[in-house]
Structure 1
Amino acid sequence: MPAQPGLAAVRRSFAFKCTLLVIGWVLAAIACTQIPARAFWPASFITLTLPVALGLNGAAAGYWLLRNWRVAVLPLLVLVLTWPHFQRGLALHPLHWAPAAGAAPGQRVRVLSANVRIFNVYPQLHEKDPESPDKLIRWVASQQADIICLQEFYNEPRKAGKRNVLSSVDRIGRQTGRQAFVSKSLTNWIGAEFGMAIFSRYPIVGRGTITFDKLTQNHAMYADLKLPGGDTIRVYNFHLQSMSMEEQDIVDSYSSKDGLKAKGLGLMRRFKRGLVARSVQMDTLTRRFEQCRYPLLLCADLNDLPYSYSYDQLADRFQNAWAAVGTGIGSTYNGRLPFVRIDNQFVGPQWIVDDFRVHYDVPYSDHFPTTAVYRLK
């Protein structure tokens, strides 16, 4: 077995210099997650490279373990210190199991969150499956969740004596014994409601809507719920600024050199506008979270990746359910862009995360629903 090279020789080597550069890259990218795009938008683009930097740091640790264990201590230390950031994109809990009901103390709460894409009400959304609006509403209504948070919600008024499959408040709420709170961003000429909704098997004792400049589909809502044991919790449901980019444009931009030239600059401008808007919206929400005295439970379509300012502000204050108990990437976007997790649930320190699941078997929207089980300590 060849002798290990001396430290002086190692410090002069190209591999060691590359390792230092990778470590610097990791630290710079993590620092950039703390910078809102409204203050310095290029920082948000640097944060997107963090998964690559973390992967290269792990590769460097493996390389030096084989070459010189003393040098390997440096990337290994960085790997340990940045493990929570690694878990944001690739959670590793292969041996996790959800305790059975009654097996562990604490008030158990089941939560479902989903961007339902207005239940595919428009013909272009349900042309492949005309029954998808009814299927999606029926699936949501049939779940055993105590709390349901829906983004891009849609409801048509119930007509006496007539069954309307799009009367979602009635089907998900009244018929299943859940109270409903709908935060409406628009009511059209037939009385149909667009916005977001929270359904609860627990009494709703308080409620409110938070607008970002003006009331659109991208806003926030909350409901205070009284649990059977007497505790009151607050549930936030929010939908941050959309990326404003068509999936086909993104695919075209990287599928060919001409596509990048034709689409790339426009996509970058729209992506930048979305980053700035979401950073402002997240700052508005975090101020509200810090003022709340109740245990918090958050459901959101962030429209942002786990390596972003928006996600970082939440991860600094709350537990992400997928990062806490999941295994794998946990992608939630149902489209041609792979490995995209933009739908999340977060809880405060008063909660224990027992289970979290992404429902890949429910393909009716462009987002997969998520469900979680929590226990209040």
Structure 2
Amino acid sequence: GLLVSYLANYISPEKSTYIAVFGLLYPYLLISNAFFIIYWTLQRHRYVLISLVGILIGFTFIPRLYQLKGNKITEENENTLKIVSYNVNLFGMYNATLYADSIFQYIEQQKPDIVCFQEHFQNKTHGYDKTIKQKIHTPYSYLFLQGKHRQLGLATFSTYPIVHSEKIQLPDTKANNATYSDIDFKGDTIRIYNIHFQSISLDVEDYLFTDQVTAAKVNLQTEDSKKSMYRILNKLKIGYKARNKQVKTIVEHIKTSPYPVVVCGDFNDPPWSYTYQQINNLLSDAFVKSGKGFGNTFFFNSRLSIRIDYIFYDNTIFDAFNFTVDKVNYSDHYPLHVVLKKRNLQTD
């Protein structure tokens, strides 16, 4: 089982969505094999080698799950760039509580140079882009929003000039998209991608079922449970196929970039997925380089969370420090931020 979960990183969901779904089980398969190692060691049985070899084969995946200690930097200077990425869930517009003010206050406290919002929202009543610019002193922005009266989408804010920006049309989606903004960072140009890949589109009924499963309060053998599992599995398969096409679009775009690249976004995929692996082939995961702990960014419920939001960067240009996921409950995602320290940029 553990070996099959490794394949999710390398086999396209177009070829097998079942392997892609199996990849979701990686953390649990890893933990169960670790317990088997302890058990078989106590039993002095050679079966211990099976679990041990299984873990060693995929040893490089463990840092994607957990980090003991991240790289720290105590002083930010003219060569550092602080970036925040945050899926703000429409600022809670359709929830019982509106979290816009709390989110703005949080961002203001971070004093970032660049902010990337996914699921940004505004309408005639709430012109959040102006509020954000005033609060965090980011005079430059690029917003790609869809809708007439209620607009939602992606927003990038910067303390440095945005010299060029465009949207990137992703395939197999109407609601999810990507943008890039070329930022003049003290004479050097950096391309910031803001991405929101295809979501799983779970509804209230699905979340209720997952909550019952994680709390062991449901019989999985009943007909209703089987229908719920099939419904969720089908949504997962649709999402995997869509993200497979979308990440290919982004990868090709990144390869043509004339500037150093930073990618921020909600991938809706874990770090042991095909989507993650495609970006990781090109760039470095800021959590792996400078994070600490599990770094989970999205929570299904109080017992089940996962890392699906990322900041990637070009490690030939930057070093990453102080990667942090802040556990603030203003959205169904947690915000993440990192300090990138410039090495020696020489771009036109």
Measured against the shorter chain, the TM-score band is: 0.7 to 0.9
Structure 1 position 142, deviation (Å): 4.6
- Residue 151 of structure 1 is matched in structure 2 by 118
CA contact (8 A) 1:141 1:171 kept: no
Q: Name the CA shift for 1:204/1:328 in 2 (closer, same or farther; >3 Å).
A: same
Structure 1 position 64, deviation (Å): 7.2
Structure 1 position 81, deviation (Å): 5.3
Separation of aligned partners in 1, 2:190 and 2:48: 46
What RMSD over aligned residues (CA atoms) do the two structures have, in Å? 2.8
Give the AA of the match of 2:9: T
SS of 1:243's partner is coil
2:295 counterpart of 1:330: yes
Gaps of 5+ in 1: 1-24, 158-163
2:133 counterpart of 1:173: yes
CA contact (8 A) 1:184 1:195 kept: yes
Q: Name the CA shift for 1:149/1:65 in 2 (closer, same or farther; >3 Å).
A: same
TM value normalised by structure 1: 0.79
Structure 1 position 71, deviation (Å): 9.6
Separation of aligned partners in 1, 2:208 and 2:132: 36
Q: Name the CA shift for 1:107/1:84 in 2 (closer, same or farther; >3 Å).
A: farther
- Residue 346 of structure 2 is matched in structure 1 by none
Structure 1 position 200, deviation (Å): 0.4
- Residue 54 of structure 1 is matched in structure 2 by 30
Structure 1 position 178, deviation (Å): 2.7
2:88 counterpart of 1:116: yes
- Residue 148 of structure 2 is matched in structure 1 by 187
Separation of aligned partners in 1, 2:51 and 2:226: 38
Equivalent of 2:235 in 270, 273, 277: 270
Separation of aligned partners in 2, 1:77 and 1:231: 47
Separation of aligned partners in 1, 2:250 and 2:275: 10
Gaps of 5+ in 2: 344-348
CA contact (8 A) 2:191 2:262 kept: yes
Separation of aligned partners in 2, 1:335 and 1:71: 35
2:340 counterpart of 1:374: yes
Separation of aligned partners in 2, 1:269 and 1:69: 40
Q: Name the CA shift for 1:359/1:102 in 2 (closer, same or farther; >3 Å).
A: closer
Give the AA of the match of 1:168: Y
Give the AA of the match of 2:74: A
2:167 counterpart of 1:209: yes
CA contact (8 A) 2:88 2:331 kept: yes
Separation of aligned partners in 1, 2:100 and 2:61: 37
CA contact (8 A) 1:223 1:234 kept: yes
Q: Which has the larger radius of gyration?
A: 1
Q: Name the CA shift for 1:177/1:245 in 2 (closer, same or farther; >3 Å).
A: closer
Separation of aligned partners in 2, 1:120 and 1:49: 30
SS of 1:54's partner is helix
2:216 counterpart of 1:240: no
- Residue 180 of structure 2 is matched in structure 1 by 222
Higher RCO structure, 1 or 2 (CA under 8 Å, sep 6+) = 2
- Residue 315 of structure 1 is matched in structure 2 by 280
Separation of aligned partners in 2, 1:54 and 1:224: 40
Equivalent of 2:329 in 334, 344, 363: 363
Separation of aligned partners in 2, 1:292 and 1:276: 25
